[in-house]
C-alpha cells in the first residue's frame, strides 16, 4: 500500500507535546465516518466517501489521504484484527465498534502508510477522544504504542497461523471461505491454483481508474492528455478505454457531459463482446435485463445507436433506474429505461430481442479491489441465496431473445457457483422448456475485440483476472438461441 503526505502534519507533531489538545484533521474524520457507515449502516464506501469529501471540501492530498486510510482499513481489516487480537487484553467483540475502527486506522497508518509513529499514535488518540469521549483514548494510546515497535511483516510473521489457508487469510486479509472459493475458481477456469497468492495481492492493490469513451460521442484519443492536475493515458485492453494516471477524471468535460464514463476495462469488455457476437438475421432490439447503475447500458446504448439499433434497459429498483437514465442521458434518444423485474421480461416479451445482457447480481468477489468491504459483508450463504435469482434471470433472457439472437451472461465474480454452474443449469432448464441453446466460442469473439488477450479463455466462456489482466474478475459467456 502506498503512503501519502500527512494532512495537518504540523498539528500532529505538536500533538506529541500536547497530546490532550491535538486537533483532529478532517481527512481522518472522513475516513472514520466512512468506516462507521460501512459497518453500522451496511453502506458502500464508494458511495459514501465521495459525498463526504464534497461535504468537507477535501481535495488533492487531503482527499487522497482520506481515501487511502478508509480503503486501506477495509482491505486490511483481517490482518489488523489478527494483530489486535494479540495486542488487546479482551475479545474485539467486547469493544465498542468505533474503538475498533480507530485502532484499525491507527494500525494502517503505523504499518502501511508513510505516517511517523508519533503522529499516527497522537492523532488516533485525539480522534478517539473527539468521536468517542475520553474513556477509550487510553486504550488506543496503549495498543498503538505497543504496535509501533515492529513493521507489518514482523507482525504478520508472529500472528499468522501455521495452517496454510488460515495463514493466507491473515497475510492477505481475506476470509478463508473467500480464498477457498477463489482457489477453486482458478482451477475450474484453467489457471494454476498456485496463482492464488498473486490474486489475493491484486485484490489488495487499489485499482487504477479507467474511462470508457462512448462510441459516437467521444474517443479514447479525445481523453488522452495531461496538464498540471490531470493525466490520462491509453487503455490497456478495450478499444473504448483510457487510463487515469493521476488526477480527478470529473474535471474532464467529456465525463461531466456523459460522453465518457468511469468504468473498469473488464466491464467494458463484457458489453463489447456482446456487441461483437454474430447474430442471425435482424439486429435492431437490444436488452439490458438488470441495467443498474448503468455503465454497461451506456456503452451498449451508444454502440447500438451507431448501428441504428435501440436498447431497452430494465432495472428493478426505481432509484437505480434513475441512475441508468442519467448514464444514458448523452445517448441521443435511442434507449428506453424501465422499472421492472428482469425475471418477468421473458414471459412478457418472448422472442422480442436480438441481443440480451444479463449482468447478474452476484457476490462481487471479482471486484474486491474496488469494493474491499464486500469480502467482510458477504457470507457463504450468499452464494446459495443468489443462485435462484441468477438462474431465473438467465432463463428470462433466453426466453426474451429470439431464435438466432445472442445472450451474454456476466458476473463480477469468478466463483464457479455463480458462473459455469449457472450457465449449465440454465441451458438444461431451457431444453426442458423446448428452448434449444448453443454455447458460443466467447474467447474467439473476445479476440475480435482485443486480439491476443492472454489467459482469458475459460472453456467456451471468458474469465478475466485482476492479477493477470489488471481488471475486475469479470466472467462472460455467450449463448445463442437456436431456431
- Catalytic residue numbers read 412
**Residue 56 annotated as lining a ligand binding site:** no
**Residue 315 annotated as lining a ligand binding site:** yes
Residue 334's alpha-carbon distances to 174, 312, 331, 350, in angstroms, are 43, 9, 7, 21
**Residue 290 annotated as lining a ligand binding site:** yes
**Residue 221 annotated as lining a ligand binding site:** no
Rg of the chain in Å (alpha carbons): 24
Q: How far apart are CA 116 and CA 101, in angstroms?
A: 20
**Residue 296 annotated as lining a ligand binding site:** yes
Query: Pairing between strand 231-234 and 241-246?
Result: antiparallel
**Residue 405 annotated as lining a ligand binding site:** no
**Residue 362 annotated as lining a ligand binding site:** no
Residues 6+ apart with CB under 8 A from 464: 266, 269, 366, 456, 471, 472, 473, 474, 475
- Under 8 Å between Cβ of 69 and 113: yes
176-185 contact pairs (CB < 8 A, 24+): 177/379, 177/380, 178/365, 178/375, 178/378, 181/365, 181/383, 181/415, 181/416, 182/365, 182/414, 182/415, 184/415, 184/416, 185/414, 185/415, 185/416, 185/419, 185/463, 185/473
Residues 6+ apart with CB under 8 A from 472: 207, 264, 266, 267, 366, 367, 369, 370, 412, 464, 466
**Residue 293 annotated as lining a ligand binding site:** yes
Nine-digit cell string for 71: 480503503
Residue 272's alpha-carbon distances to 23, 258, 267, 268, 431, in angstroms, are 50, 18, 9, 6, 28
Detail the residues annotated as belonging to a binding site.
290-296, 315, 341, 359
Detail the residues annotated as belonging to a binding site for S-adenosyl-L-methionine.
290-296, 315, 341, 359
Amino acid at each position: 500500500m502506498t503512503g501519502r503526505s500527512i494532512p495537518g502534519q504540523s498539528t500532529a507533531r505538536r500533538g506529541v507535546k500536547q497530546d490532550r489538545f491535538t486537533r483532529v484533521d478532517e481527512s481522518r474524520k472522513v475516513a472514520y465516518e466512512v468506516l462507521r457507515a460501512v459497518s453500522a449502516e451496511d453502506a458502500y464506501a464508494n458511495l459514501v466517501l465521495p459525498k463526504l469529501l464534497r461535504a468537507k471540501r477535501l481535495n488533492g492530498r487531503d482527499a487522497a489521504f482520506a481515501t487511502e486510510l478508509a480503503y486501506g482499513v477495509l482491505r486490511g481489516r483481517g490482518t489488523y484484527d489478527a494483530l489486535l487480537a494479540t495486542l488487546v487484553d479482551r475479545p474485539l467483540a467486547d469493544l465498542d465498534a468505533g474503538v475498533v475502527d480507530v485502532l484499525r486506522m491507527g494500525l494502517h497508518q503505523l504499518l502501511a502508510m508513510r505516517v511517523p509513529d508519533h503522529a499516527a499514535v497522537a492523532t488516533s488518540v485525539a480522534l478517539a477522544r473527539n468521536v468517542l469521549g475520553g474513556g477509550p483514548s487510553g486504550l488506543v494510546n496503549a495498543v498503538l504504542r505497543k504496535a509501533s515497535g515492529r513493521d507489518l511483516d514482523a507482525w504478520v510473521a508472529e500472528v499468522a497461523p501455521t495452517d496454510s489457508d488460515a495463514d493466507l487469510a491473515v497475510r492477505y486479509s481475506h476470509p478463508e471461505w473467500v480464498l477457498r472459493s477463489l482457489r477453486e475458481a482458478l482451477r475450474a477456469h484453467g489457471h494454476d491454483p498456485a496463482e492464488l497468492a498473486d490474486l489475493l495481492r491484486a485484490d489488495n492493490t487499489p485499482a487504477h481508474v479507467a474511462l470508457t469513451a462512448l462510441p459516437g460521442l467521444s474517443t479514447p484519443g479525445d481523453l488522452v492528455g495531461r496538464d498540471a492536475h490531470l493525466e490520462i493515458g491509453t487503455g490497456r485492453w478495450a478499444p473504448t478505454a483510457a487510463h487515469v494516471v493521476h488526477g480527478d477524471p470529473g474535471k474532464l468535460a467529456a465525463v461531466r457531459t456523459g460522453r465518457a464514463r468511469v468504468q473498469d476495462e473488464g466491464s467494458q469488455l463484457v458489453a463489447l463482446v456482446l456487441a461483437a457476437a454474430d447474430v442471425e438475421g435482424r439486429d435492431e432490439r437490444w436488452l439490458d435485463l438488470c441495467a443498474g447503475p448503468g455503465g454497461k447500458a451506456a456503452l451498449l446504448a451508444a454502440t447500438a445507436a451507431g448501428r441504428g439499433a435501440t436498447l431497452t434497459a430494465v432495472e428493478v429498483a426505481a432509484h437505480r433506474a434513475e441512475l441508468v437514465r442519467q448514464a444514458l442521458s448523452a445517448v441521443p434518444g435511442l434507449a428506453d429505461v424501465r422499472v421492472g423485474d428482469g425475471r418477468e421480461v421473458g414471459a412478457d416479451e418472448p422472442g422480442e430481442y436480438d441481443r440480451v445482457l444479463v449482468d447478474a447480481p452476484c457476490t462481487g468477489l471479482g471486484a474486491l479491489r474496488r469494493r474491499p468491504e464486500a469480502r467482510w459483508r458477504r457470507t457463504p450463504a450468499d452464494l446459495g441465496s443468489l443462485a435462484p435469482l441468477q438462474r431465473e434471470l438467465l432463463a428470462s433472457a433466453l426466453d426474451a431473445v429470439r431464435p438466432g439472437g445472442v445472450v451474454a451472461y456476466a458476473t463480477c465474480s469468478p466463483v464457479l457457483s455463480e458462473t459455469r454452474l449457472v450457465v449449465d443449469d440454465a441451458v438444461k432448464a431451457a431444453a426442458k422448456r423446448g428452448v434449444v441453446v448453443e454455447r458460443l466460442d466467447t474467447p474467439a469473439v473476445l479476440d475480435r475485440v482485443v486480439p491476443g488477450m492472454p489467459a482469458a479463455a475459460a472453456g467456451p466462456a471468458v474469465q478475466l483476472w485482476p492479477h493477470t489482466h489488471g481488471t475486475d474478475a469479470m466472467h462472460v459467456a455467450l449463448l445463442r438461441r437456436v431456431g
